[in-house]
Amino acid sequence: MADTVLSTNALPTTAGLDVAAIRRDFPILSTVNRLGKPLVYLDSAATSLKPLPVIEAVDAYNREYSSNIHRGIYEIAEKATGLYEAARASVAKLINAPEPNEIVFVRNATEAINLVANTWGRKHIGRGDTIVLTEMEHHANLVPWQLLVQEKDGDLEFVPITDDGVLMLDVYEALLHLRPKLVAFTHMSNMLGTINPVRELTEMAHAAGALVLIDGAQAAPHMPVDVQEIGADFYAFSGHKMLAPTGSGALWARRSLLEAMPPFMAGGDMIREVHLRRSEWNEIPWKFEAGTPDISAEIGLGAAAEYLMKIGMDNVRAHEHAMAAYALEKLREIPGIELYGPSADQRGGVVAFNLPGIHPHDVAQILDRSGICVRAGHHCTMPLHERFDISATARASFNVYSIPEEVDALTAGLREVVRIFAV
């Protein structure tokens, strides 16, 4: 396969976004693979790259004030606590939460959803109660509810999707007649890229008396999110998908819900008083943050939130929409390729595809020789793949640092895959 040179000269500017300048913030993009090929990173939906402000924020904690939070009264401990709580405020600002104390720090969206399932869910879901999900959910927004209804003898119902990967709202409306206790759905599908009408879905659920949880792991990094405007009750997202370190993430929930929910884990820092036979819980959000957290990771999450807000989430969304549209256009030039999901206007920066007769793992391995990183597998959405009668897909996904030349490299790489397999 011919070398692909990714030029940062005269890059297109999308909605005022200087992508060349942004790419200089990501040191990893200057690396090459073992064969000397430049990195073409198209797996941001799995884990995003990290910009210098995030790397430096994490490094500063480890180098300059590495200490525990909410405990020490010496200078570096107070600095760590202050920056940790400042990160909470930045995350709250990113999603327009009413107050920082409605942000619970967790390791990822998976932990956030499990927190809700094991606290609010175990308290409020009983025998015969219904939870409504969709066919496009990530396993993280499916398996916790499976476990809960198995324990409580409840029921799960699912909103189906069209062949284009769009929710069937007429069926959703019918399912709401079952008076579910909870409706949980993804803001944006990690496999199809479908952006769901979350405000409309939330309003319909509330009219039926249900609470709403939104899995925002694929949305919070890529588009403006306003939890007050959406009107949901819970919103979960991961840091490692939004330019922050692994081991960071957040759950936003309404104060009244958090105050009424029992603790998720027990131990240090989530208590106000402890006696031998009883304890009193700390205020929110610390009631849900037992033990020493990954302090540097959450500080990094705050730095990532500030970085994204400086760019502007409207700009991020416009850029990734342009990337998705360009990718769909270029990939359709490959004979026989199968693309999944809706049009560019209804999707985020994710494109899943298959080449007929070639397993996605083979596609990904051959692309890797040229430094092109794509995901191959079921992307933690096995039921969604079953819906399309396929076992796996390859997936290219974009971020604020992605450029059209990377799509060109992907297209050339896929043509080479077809040539090798001679299909």
Signed CA dihedral, 201, 203, 209, 214: sign only: positive
Tokens 């205020």 found at: 283
The closest alpha carbon to 348, from 198, 210, 231, 187, belongs to: 187
Q: Which helix (H) or strand (E) holds 112?
A: helix 109-116
Determine contact, residues 43/375, Cβ cutoff 8 Å: yes
Determine contact, residues 29/402, Cβ cutoff 8 Å: no
- Separation between Cα atoms, residue 156 and residue 228, nearest integer Å: 27
234-238 and 249-253 beta bridge pairing: antiparallel
- Separation between Cα atoms, residue 146 and residue 139, nearest integer Å: 10
The one catalytic residue among 156, 271, 339, 380 = 380
φ and ψ of 212, to 5 deg:
-130, 130
The closest alpha carbon to 132, from 107, 154, 102, belongs to: 154
Determine contact, residues 328/404, Cβ cutoff 8 Å: no
- Separation between Cα atoms, residue 357 and residue 371, nearest integer Å: 23
What single-letter DSSP state applies at residue 326? Answer: H
For the question of residue 380 being annotated catalytic, the response is: yes
Give the pair of three-digit tokens for residue 134.
């969709």
State the catalytic residues.
Answer: 380
